[in-house]
Amino acid sequence: MSKYDFRGAKLDNKEGTLAIGEHQTINNVVSKGIEEVSKELREELMKSDIPLEMKKEIQGAIDASEKEAKEEKPNKIVLSSLLGTIEKAITVASATPTLITAFEKWKVFFEPLIG
């Protein structure tokens, strides 16, 4: 019998990464990182001179992106569409360097999920 015999085991892990076996290292920082850069992006968005209604729409897209990224299997098409829409809205509505920089930092966390 193998030392990795898991017959009858039930593994229920909806909160993060799971590894089984020897020499496993898990860095579950992507979700936390997304939350941090999303907060920074929201702060820069609120400081910008983008009209309030557009800010609300961008905020909704940021929230939807964050939620989708936390799904067990994020939908790549949905994420890609949301990121493209947010990028277009930010660059067209306001070319402030700090907002663009915050967006670029934020986008980096989503790129691995899109593939």
Report pTM: 0.71
Mean pLDDT of 68-76: 89
pLDDT above 50 (res 28): no
Higher per-residue pLDDT: 27 or 44? 44
Confidence of residue 25 (pLDDT cuts 50, 70, 90): very low
pLDDT at 93: 77
pLDDT at 31: 65
pLDDT at 26: 42
pLDDT digits (tens, 9 = 90+) for 81-112: 999 999 999 988 776 889 999 999 999 988 88
Give the span between the Cα atoms of 28 and 41, in whole angstroms. Answer: 21
Lookup result for tokens 């039930």: 10
pLDDT at 10: 62
pLDDT above 80 (res 43): yes
- 1 CB contacts (<8 Å, ≥6 apart)? none
pLDDT at 115: 78
